[in-house]
Each structure stands twice: as structure tokens, then as C-alpha cells.
Amino acid sequence: MTEPYQPGYQWKRTQIDENDPPTDLDWIGYDGVGAVGRIRKEMHGPTKGKWHWAGWVPRNLKGTTPTPNAGYCETAREATRMVEEYWDRCKAVMEPR
């Protein structure tokens, strides 16, 4: 049996402002001070119950970004892995500014 994925970056509950209390359903990952992406659980519609992931592009890099940079997963852990792998792919193929 394989070990479950262990996140390599720091993840914090998303909080837009003081009027938006953080929940366990919305997270942003960080590589040091920069954000790597976001995951959130869909609560309605055809993707209800799935975790949406969206990878962000490193600001200090330029060039063609890899795809896909977003999608849906069954678990938060899998969505976390997708964001972190996307971030690592960006850093591997893009050039410093």
C-alpha cells in the first residue's frame, strides 16, 4: 500500500477579509510568501462534493505556462497535490524574469 500524499507547501484557510470567516472548505497554498494556488469544496451544482483546484503562476517567472491549471478532484488531499505539482511544473519550465 502506498503512503498518502503529504503536502510540500504550507496551506492556510482562505480569508478574504475580517467579514469572511475562514472554513475548512477553502484553502490557499504558500511557497514561502507567495501563493501557489487554491482549493475549495463545491457545495452546489453538478460538481457538488468535489474539490476544485486552481494553480497559480509564479510572478517571478515568464514564458508559456503548463496546462491544465485547474480541475476537480474527489478529495482535498488530491486537489492539494494537483496544485503543488502544477506549481512545480511552472518552476521547472518557465524562465526567471
Task: Please indicate, yes or no, if residue 68 is contained in any of the structural domains.
Answer: yes
Q: How confident is the model at residue 67 (pLDDT cuts 50, 70, 90)?
A: very high
Q: How many CB atoms lie within 10 A of CB 67?
A: 9
Is a pLDDT exceeding 80 seen at residue 13? yes
Q: How many CB atoms lie within 10 A of CB 90?
A: 21
Is a pLDDT exceeding 90 seen at residue 2? no
Q: What is the number of domains present in the chain?
A: 1
User: For residue 55, what are the contacts with CB-CB under 8 A and spacing of at least 6?
Assistant: 36, 37, 69, 70, 82, 83, 86, 87, 90
Task: Please indicate, yes or no, if residue 87 is contained in any of the structural domains.
Answer: yes
Q: What is the pLDDT of residue 12?
A: 95
Task: Please indicate, yes or no, if residue 78 is contained in any of the structural domains.
Answer: yes
Q: How confident is the model at residue 1 (pLDDT cuts 50, 70, 90)?
A: low
Can you tell me the distance from the alpha carbon of 13 to that of 58, in angstroms, rounded to the nearest whole number? 20
| Higher per-residue confidence, 3 vs 78 | 78
Can you tell me the distance from the alpha carbon of 69 to that of 3, in angstroms, rounded to the nearest whole number? 25
